[in-house]
Amino acid sequence: MALDISQNSNVDQLVRERVDALITQRFNELVAQQIADAFKKDPAQNKMAIIASKGTLDMAYPPLILASAAAAMGEEVEIFFTFYGLNIVRKGGAKHLQIAPIANPAMPVPLPNILGMLPGMTPMATWMMKTQFFAKHHVAPIEDLLQECMDLGVKFIACQMTMDVMGIKASDLIDGVEVGGAATFIDFANQAHVSLFI
Amino acid sequence: MALDISQNSNVDQLVRERVDALITQRFNELVAQQIADAFKKDPAQNKMAIIASKGTLDMAYPPLILASAAAAMGEEVEIFFTFYGLNIVRKGGAKHLQIAPIANPAMPVPLPNILGMLPGMTPMATWMMKTQFFAKHHVAPIEDLLQECMDLGVKFIACQMTMDVMGIKASDLIDGVEVGGAATFIDFANQAHVSLFI
Amino acid sequence: MALDISQNSNVDQLVRERVDALITQRFNELVAQQIADAFKKDPAQNKMAIIASKGTLDMAYPPLILASAAAAMGEEVEIFFTFYGLNIVRKGGAKHLQIAPIANPAMPVPLPNILGMLPGMTPMATWMMKTQFFAKHHVAPIEDLLQECMDLGVKFIACQMTMDVMGIKASDLIDGVEVGGAATFIDFANQAHVSLFI
């Protein structure tokens, strides 16, 4: 029987069956491959969202060390400075972060709290932490880490609500810090596997 | 040569080749598009899992502010209250959260620790934080934020182990709090990009 | 009209249209299904990355409880011990973690800070927390939880920088702890939905 293309129900049916078989067969391989590739370049794997909520010298380090390390690995990083963490990005703030030698029996040189709470012990502990621990072992000071983060493209966002509550103006912050709310952080964090509250 | 459909090896081969070529060509576009769309509506992007482990007035704010903001953006949010964080969801607990003015040289009005540890300074610092900082700048009190979270559908889970250890019964918790273990939190957090330990 | 296969532009065109229609139709179903399946077995859902930065008795529990729970659920878990958290994995460290009964008005038995800072109160609070709260309610001591995590395959990584700063050598750490930098943590955390800074 010769095929009359004007009555093409036969070839139609034939094509339909072949196509179906072929699609199903190739499909599983190709889609599986593409999905595997897609997960490999999962965009959420290249983003890190950090909240910096502490304003002591010791807890100012983790957000900046993690952010600079991730940015150096080519990642997109945002730090949201909120509550006490805002101190880190106040003009002149980084140099004056302190650490109180009380209430933390896990400190490298633990002091009895009754000594730690004496006047002068907070500056003393801060000085010790800076000179005997960080500088002596070539850990950059906070102000250098801030600059390094910025040079690597880490985005700094200051919490609007904290600024309002503490009476801090945008001009009180170091250059390059944007101002935003919780929604700003959430929008970015939603796209990142790594989100850390520090 | 006319095509005899009863000996269809030719058209079969032809169709097979065309189909393959076409599938491969269209495939890359279509799959790429669908995968891109799938990542856009990645279900993990709409979920936030928070652990609230602190029971001081200041650190009760971040979990509730983040949860209410995310829920207002349409996200599914769970807060797992554990350790000291359980205080936030005890009946009458929210009103009595306090803040001690010691060991945190980053406080807005830092006190020497030798003064901060004097009797009466914790209630005083709590009162100052509530009136001079939060209320004055229209930040809702914790009890209102709890209600707002619940109205927005945020799920509250109290840590079973902490309840056992601290002798807290389900009836000691505010209405609407479920009780669960670490596995409850992990199950949910596994499906969320944003997981925060506060 | 009979089809001459040597001038196959007609069947070519016909096949092209059918294939397109069929691909588009089946495609949406099949890709949607495969992508849905892929997200169900999203590899990021089976990984938990934890940073343990605190070295007090109370805050040593959350990383180990979460890690052991997740590992028992079949997940791949890594804990990065940094800053004070390094104390948890020092040889003999787990037994000597302490808790200071000051600066945390949310403690189960809050003490006025003026009493809490007296000599002997840190060991006393530690003893109370261990015996009256944890042991009494069958919460394993830290050293048992460490062992449980290791038995379940949780990977422990000690922060190289902290070790340098605090003068801790690899031989000072309990067996089975690897040494790594921030990049080690980030590499793993990038593949995990759940990342927690404790």
pLDDT digits (tens, 9 = 90+) for C19-68: 677 766 666 677 777 777 777 777 778 999 999 999 999 999 999 999 99
Q: How far apart are CA B160 and CA B118, in angstroms?
A: 35
CA dist B76 and B188 (Å) reads 10
Cβ contact B81:B52 at 8 Å: yes
Instruction: List B197's β-bridge partners, or say none.
Output: B51
State the burial class of residue C170 (Cβ atoms within 10 Å of its Cβ: 0-12, 13-18, 19+): exposed
**What pLDDT sits at residue B24?**
67
- Beginning with the edge strand found earlier in the chain, give each strand of the sheet holding B177-180 in spatial order: B177-180, B155-159, B76-81, B47-52, B194-197
Comparing CB atoms, the residue among B44, B62, B73 nearest residue A83 is B62
Residues in chain C: 198
Residues of chain B with pLDDT under 70: 1-9, 19, 23-28
Beta bridge partners, A180, equal A159
C134 CB neighbours in chain B (<8 A) are: 165
pLDDT at A3: 47
The pTM of the full predicted model, rounded to 2 decimals, is 0.85
* List of domains in chain B: 44-197 (3.40.1260.10)
C28, C54, C186, best to mutate vs chain A, most A CBs in 10 Å? C186
What number is the average pLDDT over the span A35-43? 75
Candidates B27, B186, B197; nearest CB to C73: B186
CB A129 within 8 A of CB A57: yes
How far is C-alpha B147 from the geometric centre of its chain's CA atoms?
16
How far apart CA C6 and CA A102 sit, in angstroms, is: 91
Is A166 close to B133, i.e. CB distance below 8 A? yes
Largest Cα–Cα distance in chain A?
106
A193 CB neighbours in chain C (<8 A) are 44, 189-193, 195
**Other residues' Cβ atoms within 10 Å of the Cβ of residue B198:** 23
Mean pLDDT, to the nearest integer, of A89-115?
A: 85
Which residue from C14, C78, C23, C5 is spatially nearest to C46, judged by alpha carbons? C78
Residue stretches of chain C with pLDDT short of 70:
1-9, 19, 23-28
pLDDT at A1 over 50: no
Cα gap A176→C86, rounded to integer Å: 34
